[in-house]
Structure 1
Amino acid sequence: MTDAQWAVIEPLLPLPGSATSKGGRPEKWPRRTVLDAIFYLVRGGIAWAQLPHDFPPPKTIYDIYRRWATAGVWQRVHDCLRDVLRVHAGRDPLPTAAIVDSQTVRAADTVPSSTAGYDAGKKTKGRKRHIATDTNGLLLAVVVTAASIQDRDGAHRVLAALRDGFGAVRHVWADGGYAGRLVTWAAKTLNLTVQIVKRTDNAAGFVVLPRRWVVERTYGWINKHRRCVRDYETSPESHEAMVYIAMIMVMSRRLGRTGDW
């Protein structure tokens, strides 16, 4: 990462154990080097054991990644960066509207069959990412399920996560796959208005649809990171952490270029 990126991210990381009241030994490896290794893996899509020897031992990097994932560090860092970007765009940190969508990702042989499934529509075995973004395309919530879960069923979980984290959200845009009972359930249970954005019957080929293009662009940002193009993670929670890390890389680069955070 660049010096500007590191300046953005460093203050958001948790304090080392040696700097807290619990005490402990000082960390052996510089945190910037650790983050460089994790970012290298996420962007390149390599296995942990294939990290170059210039980095600390792969097991050390993986243990730190897992410890921070379990503690929710990746999501907290991500959320802080997103709020800063929203303020830079002249918006309130708390959004009032969102867009939801899902994407099926093919699973590698490292994904246990108990957490994977078959998406008959996409003819793909793997997992499915259900995400909600703001109107700028910044990630608000992500839930990873088996690919066999229908979009409407997965949307129950991602909309519930959206409501828990963003009480100000009142309006959600979605595609035709979410039409039906989900709209009624969201209105009655979560006080959310779900507006379905459909293609017109006479549309031919690729058409940019209002609002829906925003979440598709977010998937494009995520899929620039090869670890997210295919699912290699043994748990859905680890896949969610990888998505947060990918977006941390996107947003920290953007903030680093502005020089104002």
Structure 2
Amino acid sequence: MQQPYSSDLTASQWQGIENLICVKRKSIWPLQRIVEAIFYLTKNGIIWRDLPEGFPPWQTVYWYFRKWSKNDTWVLMANELTMLHRVKVDKKPLPTVALIDSQSVKNSATATEHIGFDGGKRIKGRKRFMMVDTLGHLLWTDLRAANVADGKAGVLFWEQAEHLNRLLDDLLLMYADSTFEVILRIN
């Protein structure tokens, strides 16, 4: 009997995402256990090689994680779960209002791309942009050098997000703080 983890899925949770995963390759490991291993890794912040016994080998889990990252399976899952939750709390499936903001963070020793100096916050590193709906669901995220102005980056962020995320199709209003000097026009 395998040890239960807080990242394990219930039968109904697995049923909700099982059909969103497209796999042509037959595995000796159940897909649910592979997904649970990925959730365990991301929740606990461990390294791949430290995956506990009872999960598939870390190489198998990593292979599926990379495959699903490249083919946007994770985005599809996040979008479907967002829409299901919005309907569950009596909201329209697609949000009409969103919020955007950025945060400058210090650079890590291994990061070599998207690095700049945010003079206002005196931070050398990166700037992460996040867009959420009114319930706090993450709709889009992006990473830029810290020296990029919010207004300029906000426009680039929006242009990228609106074409790649179907959750933004019904968006009518976006809230942003005053550092986003450029007005983002929504269709």
TM-score range with shorter-chain normalisation?
0.7 to 0.9
CA distance in 1, matches of 2:126, 2:63: 24
Match of 1:175 among 165, 174, 177: 177
Gaps of 5+ in 1: 19-25, 192-261
Amino acid corresponding to residue 24 of structure 2 in structure 1: G
CA distance in 2, matches of 1:51, 1:118: 36
CA contact (8 A) 1:118 1:147 kept: yes
Q: 3-state DSSP class of the match of 1:85?
A: helix
Q: 1:88 to 1:143 in 2, by over 3 A?
A: same
TM-score under structure 2 normalisation? 0.82
Q: 1:72-91 to 2 correspondence within 5 Å?
A: 72-91=72-91
Greater RCO, CA 8 A, separation 6+: 1
CA deviations over 1:165-195 (Å, ceiling 9, x no partner): 323212111111112xx11xx33xx44xxxx
**Take 1:131 and 1:97, find their aligned partners in 2: how far apart are those partners?**
14
Q: Which residue of 1 aligns with 2:94?
A: 94
Alignment of 1:45-56 (within 5 A): 45-56=45-56
Amino acid at match of 2:116: G
Q: CA deviation at 1:79?
A: 0.4
Runs in 1 of length 4+ with deviation above 6 angstroms? none
| 1:17 matched residue in structure 2 | 24
Deviations 1:88-146 (A, max 9, x none): 121221222211111234443332x1233333333434332211111111122212223
1:35 is displaced (CA, Å) by 1.4
Match of 2:114 in 1: 115
Q: 1:54 to 1:149 in 2, by over 3 A?
A: farther
State the distance in 1 between where 2:69 and 2:36 align.
16
Distance 1:58 1:106 in 2: 30
| Residues 37, 61 of structure 1: 8 Å contact kept | yes
CA RMSD of aligned residues (A): 2.1
Name the amino acid aligned to 2:69.
A
1:143-158 mapped onto 2 (5 Å cutoff): 143-158=142-157
**1:11–1:149 distance in 2 versus 1, CA, 3 Å:** same
Match status 1:40 vs 2:40 = yes
Q: Which runs of 5+ in 2 are unaligned?
A: 1-7
- DSSP 3-state at the match of 1:177: coil
Instruction: Return the alpha-carbon distance in structure 1 between the equivalents of residues 87 and 158 of structure 2.
Output: 24
Deviations 1:55-109 (A, max 9, x none): 2222222221111111010000110111111111212212222111112344433
Deviations 1:142-175 (A, max 9, x none): 1222333222222112222343332321211111
Q: Is the 8 A contact 1:119 1:147 kept in 2?
A: yes
Q: Counterpart amino acid of 1:175?
A: D
SS of the equivalent of 2:179 reads helix
Query: Could you tell me how far apart the structure 1 residues matched to 2:58 and 2:125 are?
Result: 26
1:129 aligned partner:
128
Identify if the C-alpha distance between structure 1 residues 35 and 177 changes in structure 2 by more than 3 Å, giving closer, same or farther: same
TM-score (norm 1): 0.61
The C-alpha deviation readout for 1:210-248, integer Å capped at 9, x for no partner, is xxxxxxxxxxxxxxxxxxxxxxxxxxxxxxxxxxxxxxx
Aligned length: 176
